[in-house]
Amino acid sequence: MKLMLTEKQIRVLRYFRDYRRAKGIAPTLDEAAQALGVSKITIHEHLNQLTRKGAIHRDRAKARAVAILHDPDASDDGVATRGAPTLPLLGMIAAGRPIEALEDRQDLGLDELVPTGERIYLLRVRGKSMIEDHIDDGDLVVVERCETANDGDTVVAILDGEQATLKRFYRERNGSIRLQPANSSLAPVFTSRVQIRGVVRGVIRRFR
C-alpha cells in the first residue's frame, strides 16, 4: 500500500530504519534529534504522524520500541521508490464571514489533488472563454486523454481545420454537438464533426 509521507517524515523513517538495521534496536528520541539536527519534540511529532499513517509501530512504554512497518525506499514489488510530494493542510478558512482560526494539520499528497498517469497531460489556457467556470487566461488545465465525453464535461475539442478549443460538451437532439463557452458574451459553437482529445479533470493557477 502506498503511504503519503512528507520528505521530512521519510528522512526520519530512513534514519530509524538504518539505525535498527545497524544496531538491532531503535534509537532514542535524543539520539535521533541529535543525528538529524532537530529538536526532540520534532522527532516525537514525526513519529506520531508515522504511527498514524501506519509506517511504524511504537510501544510508548519503552524508549527504543519502534518497529518499522514500511520501507520508504521499496514498493510492494521491491522496486526503489520515494513518497509523493505533500503539502500541509492546516485546516479551513471562510471566504465569507470571519471564523475562528483553528489549526488541524494533516499532510495531503499532491497526487490526491492532481491526477497523474500516462493519460494525463497539461495545457495552458489562452483567452477567457471559460472564465465563468473559473478557468482563466494563463491557467493550466489537467486533461485526461480520451476520445469520448459526457454531456457537461469540459473537453479539449478539435474542429475542422485542426482548430483546438476548450469548451463544455453537449449532444443536441438533432444529432449535432454544442460546444458551450462559459462566458455569457460568447456564442456556442454547433458542429456535426468534432474530435475529443481529452476531458478536463482539474485546474492549476499560480499567483504572482
Tell me the pairing of strands 195-204 and 120-124. unpaired
Which residues are the active-site residues? Answer: 129, 167
List of long-range contacts for 140-143, beta carbons under 8 Å, 24+ apart: 140/203, 140/204, 140/205, 141/166, 141/200, 141/202, 141/203, 141/204, 142/114, 142/115, 142/200, 142/201, 142/202, 142/203, 142/204, 143/197, 143/198, 143/199, 143/200, 143/201
Give bridge partners of residue 195 from the DSSP assignment: 158
138, three cell numbers:
494563463
Within 10 angstroms of residue 66's Cβ, the number of other Cβ atoms is 25
Beta strands in 28-176 (DSSP E): 56-58, 66-68, 86-89, 106-109, 120-124, 140-144, 154-159, 163-171
